Structure 1
């Protein structure tokens, strides 16, 4: 399970680099932060249950943040 967090770190690094190349600096910084967090968590050798709980917590926060941003910050088309 720890290896999957390193895989998530790799893919967030790829997305962050593509965002940086596309001049989306805020998005790239967000993904670089996630990359560092995933790589750090990947090398801490927690139990599988702990990794699953952290992943589901991450997913809940990500979906809540995405929903908040898309509804309240972007606004609805008229």
Structure 2
């Protein structure tokens, strides 16, 4: 299970590099931060249950933040 967090770190690093190449600096920094978070978690020796709980907590925070951003910050395009 810890290896999966390192895989997530690899994919977030890839997305961050593509965002950086496309001049989306804020997005790139966000994904670089997530990369560091996932890689550090990947090398800690937690139990499988802890890794699953951490992943669910990450998903809840991410989807809540994304939903808040799209509804209240981006606003209504009409």
Deviations 1:1-60 (A, max 9, x none): 000000000000000000000000000000000000100000001000000000000000
Runs of 5+ in structure 1 lacking a partner?
Answer: none
Alpha-carbon separation, structure 1, partners of 2:10 and 2:19? 14
Q: Give the match for residue 35 of structure 2.
A: 35
How well do the aligned residues superpose, as a CA RMSD in angstroms? Answer: 0.4
> Hey, what's the Cα distance between the residues in 1 that align with 2:33 and 2:69?
18
Q: TM-score, normalised by structure 1?
A: 0.99
Q: Could you say which residue in structure 1 is the equivalent of 2:11?
A: 11
Aligned-partner Cα distance in 2 for 1:16–1:55: 20
Stretches of 4+ moved more than 2 A in 1? none
Q: Name the counterpart of 1:72.
A: 72
What runs of 5+ residues in structure 2 fail to find an aligned partner?
A: none
TM-score by length of 2: 0.99
